[in-house]
Structure 1
Amino acid sequence: MTDAAPQQKRLSTAIILIVTGLLGWYASFALTLDKFAVLENPQADLDCNLSVLVQCGANLASWQGALLGFPNPVLGLGGFVAPIAVGVGLLAGATYDRWFWIAFNVGVAGALGFCIWLMSQSIFSLGTLCPWCMLVWAVTIIMFWTLTLRNAAVGVFGAGLERVGRALYSWIPALVIGSYLVVAIVAQLRLDFLTEIAIMLG
């Protein structure tokens, strides 16, 4: 690995954390505003309600949309601040201890696990695809693969996984696309969303 490689990895990680964090926060903010609108008027015509299949109204009104007793988007409003702050810190030259990277990675893995559960509930129980939710899922997947393989490549998880992390780091785009394809295939098989999109566009 060249001397420039660690700095390049640091820069790319910082940018990805900031961009995905901002997109995730914006999606959470939009969902929060939609939740306010529904609370004020249960019959509100939300911008994200594009069809019976592609909508966020059913998700916001379900018990899955407030798993901890308050709307899930509130978790995003707070949670997505963390990757933004870490990314900005990296750009500013901050260094973080190994325990911090492990704790941060555990948090992002937990966020991905929660998104996977929400995906399953949305596809199999609610029968909907929420646009803003899908943006949250998308950025969380990118964040997870980038952070996890970056940490493995620089030895955060120990020397045993360092070689694996270095080998897989360049495969992050393929892993992200593969993850998206898995979700898309499951959604297509369960909901036939391509037909719905064709109807909407036609």
Structure 2
Amino acid sequence: MPSVERRPIGLALLLIVAGIAGWYAAFDLTLEKIQTLINPDYVPTCNISPLVTCGPNMASWQGSIFGFPNPVIGVAAFVAPVVVGVAILAGARFAKWFWVLFNLGFAAGIVFVVWLMTQSIFVLGTLCPYCMVVWAVVIPMFWYVTAFNLKEGHFGNGRGSREIAALLYPWVWVLVLLSYLVIVVMAQLRLDAITSIFSTL
């Protein structure tokens, strides 16, 4: 019988902290968008420099890909990991199908984040501060939820793959770090981000 000690407390804390951070970034960006709609002359507080800015992102078609501002999606979506994390801490246990659907949500989220990231870096030529917060929290949540599901066999994978996933689970942070490194390299190669950022300090 599963014990309380087997609850993924670390994963729960990650979901709560990352979910709150992502929700805050999405909510703040939504407020900034509303301000620009009310007052066309309003300068968003996240416009720090020509490179580190959110204005062009919000004004672009990429910023409203579904016909409404993208941050609205984040305001709604980031509630889910927080609720799941709190529920785990409270002792809730979820069925395999729930974990699979939860993982599919993160898969959709990471695809969307990668697309927005490439659009921001390679098309718009900007680094939106709030957007980067969203990137920074979606990436670890995706990797850790996926690794957890593999470890627990929620995808229907066999005992051997579960044991391998269990051994690799403590090293998921390496995947997260490599993901961050890829973003930094792309931003540096395309935008010379490091030089631009330090020149504004």
TM class, shorter-length: over 0.9
Aligned to 2:180: 180
| Contact 2:26 2:71 (8 Å CA) reproduced | yes
SS at match of 2:91: coil
Aligned to 1:197: 197
SS at match of 1:52: coil
Cα displacement (A) at 1:169: 0.7
| Contact 1:9 1:150 (8 Å CA) reproduced | no
Alignment of 1:1-202 (within 5 A): 7=5, 10-160=8-158, 161-201=161-201
Identity %: 52
TM-score when normalising by structure 1: 0.94
Rounded to whole Å, the distance in 2 between the matches of 1:159 and 1:114 is: 26
Cα displacement (A) at 1:162: 1.1
| Contact 1:152 1:164 (8 Å CA) reproduced | no
Gaps spanning 5+ residues in structure 1: where?
Answer: none
Gaps spanning 5+ residues in structure 2: where?
Answer: none
Cα displacement (A) at 1:4: 11
TM-score when normalising by structure 2: 0.95
Cα displacement (A) at 1:46: 1.4
CA 1:5–1:118 in structure 2 vs 1: closer, same or farther (change >3 Å)? farther
Runs of 4+ in 1 over 4 A off after TM superposition: 3-6
- RMSD (CA atoms): 1.7
| Contact 1:24 1:76 (8 Å CA) reproduced | yes
| Contact 1:151 1:157 (8 Å CA) reproduced | yes
